[in-house]
Amino acid sequence: TQGEPDSVVSLAKWRILNRLHDRNETLYYRVLIDNIKDFAPIIYTPTVGLVCENYSGLFRRPRGMYFSAKDKGEMMSMIYNWPAEKVDMIVVTDGSRILGLGDLGVQGIGIPIGKLDVYVAAAGINPQKVLPIMLDVGTNNEELLEDKLYLGLRQPRLEGEEYLAVVDEFMEAVHARWPKAIVQFEDFQMKWAFETLQRYRSRFCMFNDDVQGTAGVALAGLLGAVRAQGRPLADFTKQKIVVVGAGSAGIGVLNMAKHAMLRMPGTHKIGELGEGHNQFWVLDKDGLITKSRKDLDPAVARFARGYGPEEVEDLHEGASLVEVVKKVKPHVLLGLSGVGGIFNEEGSQGYERI
């Protein structure tokens, strides 16, 4: 690979590690544990994105379990085919929104595999008690449907109640065999990320990493930044926050930050800091999101800018990041978009330095 692009070199390293995993799992994890800083970017992001895009061509040996829409009615018996007596951690995806790459169908299995390898190597979870799972409900990616090597169902994605029926049956089957297993939902498109989280969080031991995991880390950083400035944590409610990205990660961070603001000491009095208090400016690929936008997703609507004393003059629907930063002068700028190159020197000139 001498002289080849970094992506080619990284993919070659992944293939070497993958073959080692197939031959000698004990040695594979020993190598990861001893070299986690070097190999974490190979077994997970950013290399795992390349792996998922090319997974059907890279496939040599199955890993994890696959539940497809065609298996409806059989999932309870299928779950007992897994040879491990006990499973502590499951990472499941439907491949509908893999990183910033979109719908990769069954090829998204690379994400649960890579995530669990990191958990084993970095967190010390027993590798015999983890299980990567793919829910194959079809794909809307025409290139994959026409690819002769594609491993998944060659049909459009299930939607609505048909989709939920498959996920319901899977969750019931997992809970029946391993009631204490943690089920982590990973890289589901936004509408299903929030829908499944609300549907299962009170019944099963589960969480959504894109919505809650990213949000937890981001909130810790936000609160830590306030403390590092020598300010009381209650000042967090006064921070002006600009968020670029209105997907499951972006809205997850917003929801958790909003929840934290409402729980801050001294903000519980009626009228002092209510649900209408909006310290967030959210942008997506079409610019600033306001209440005048058509077909606004309900999860995003509560953070859309409107009209009132808190609004900044001359900030219109679809305003660019540079416009928003210069006029709002935010305390915090969060990048939670899958699109690169959004932040530049021009935009940073409007950032309020504290």
Q: Which residues are annotated as a binding site?
A: 97, 186-187, 210
pLDDT beyond 70 at 308: no
- Residue type present at position 51: V
- Bridge partner list, 65: 133
Query: Six-digit token pair at 165?
Result: 């029926």
Phi-psi region of 271 (alpha: psi -120 to 50; beta: other; left: phi over 0): left
Strands 280-284 and 287-288: antiparallel
Q: Where are the alpha helices (DSSP H) in 128-206?
A: 142-146, 160-177, 190-200
Cα–Cα distance, 350 to 333 (Å, whole number):
11
pLDDT score at 344: 72
The number of beta carbons lying within 10 Å of the beta carbon of residue 36 is 13
Selected catalytic residue, list 28, 55, 115, 258? 115
- Residue 266: pLDDT band by 50, 70, 90 thresholds? low
The DSSP letter of residue 305 is B
pLDDT beyond 90 at 47: yes
Higher pLDDT pick, 298 / 104? 104
Residue pLDDT, tens place only, 156-199 = 999 999 999 999 999 999 999 999 999 999 999 989 999 999 99
- Residue type present at position 91: V
Closest residue by Cα to residue 90 from 59, 130, 142: 130
Cα–Cα distance, 8 to 92 (Å, whole number):
28
pLDDT beyond 60 at 146: yes
Residue pLDDT, tens place only, 59-98 = 999 999 999 999 999 999 999 999 999 999 999 999 999 9
pLDDT beyond 70 at 326: yes
Selected catalytic residue, list 13, 28, 37, 44? 44
- Residue 116: pLDDT band by 50, 70, 90 thresholds? very high
Q: Where are the alpha helices (DSSP H) in the chain?
A: 6-23, 25-34, 36-43, 47-53, 55-58, 75-79, 110-123, 142-146, 160-177, 190-200, 214-228, 248-262, 298-301, 321-328, 345-348
Mean pLDDT confidence for 295-304:
86
pLDDT beyond 60 at 323: yes
C-alpha separations of 259 from 31, 253, 352 in Å: 41, 10, 24
Mean pLDDT of all residues belonging to the chain: 90
Q: What angle do CA 226, 229, 232 make, to 5 degrees?
A: 55
Domains of the chain, start order: 6-204 (3.40.50.10380), 213-349 (3.40.50.720)
Query: Is-catalytic flag, 291?
Result: no
pLDDT beyond 60 at 224: yes
Q: What whole-number percentage of the chain has pLDDT above 70? A: 92
User: Does the N-terminal peptide bond of residue 46 adopt cis geometry, omega within 30 degrees of 0?
Assistant: yes
- Residue 354: pLDDT band by 50, 70, 90 thresholds? very low
Cα–Cα distance, 209 to 237 (Å, whole number):
25
pLDDT score at 275: 54
Report whether 226 contacts 237 (CB < 8 A): no
pLDDT score at 315: 86
Query: Is-catalytic flag, 200?
Result: no
Q: Which residues are annotated as a binding site for a divalent metal cation?
A: 186-187, 210
pLDDT score at 313: 78
